[in-house]
């Protein structure tokens, strides 16, 4: 058995070159978001698109041309719009 200290997947020489993750990326929406109505859901998703694009921009700048995004929304049209917003923001960066 190796006696080296395990530092976890987010440390070490490979991770040192990665940009820090935004604390909002991967966050779940507020529990009562659907109860607040479609306007609140659209506002949350719009902000999420900004956060996702900000997180992915360094990878796009480094040459990554494909991202596997899985949108989460009760409305398929909003999910598609969120992906389109991320794509547009990345194209502008």
Listed in sequence order, the residues at least 6 apart from 74 whose beta carbon sits closer than 8 Å to its beta carbon are 34, 41
In terms of pLDDT, which residue wins out, 66 or 21? 66
Q: What is the pLDDT of residues 27-67, one digit of tens each?
A: 566 677 778 877 877 777 667 888 889 889 999 999 998 99
Q: Is the pTM of this model over 0.85?
A: no
| Cα separation, 24 vs 44, whole angstroms | 11
* Mean pLDDT in residue range 9-19: 52
Asked if residues 67 and 91 have their Cβ atoms less than 8 Å apart, the reply is no
Q: For position 27, what pLDDT does the model report? A: 54
pLDDT of residue 61: 92
Give yes or no for a contact between 73 and 49, defined as CB atoms under 8 angstroms apart: no
């Amino acid at each position: 058995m190796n006696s080296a200290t395990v530092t976890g997947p987010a440390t070490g020489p490979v991770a040192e070159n990665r940009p820090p993750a935004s604390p909002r990326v991967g966050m779940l929406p507020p529990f009562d978001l659907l109860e607040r109505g479609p306007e609140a859901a659209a506002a949350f998703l719009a902000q999420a698109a900004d956060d996702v694009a900000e997180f992915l921009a360094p990878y796009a700048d480094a040459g990554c041309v494909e991202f596997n995004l899985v949108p989460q929304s009760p409305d398929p049209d909003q999910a598609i719009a969120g992906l389109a917003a991320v794509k547009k923001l990345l194209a502008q960066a």
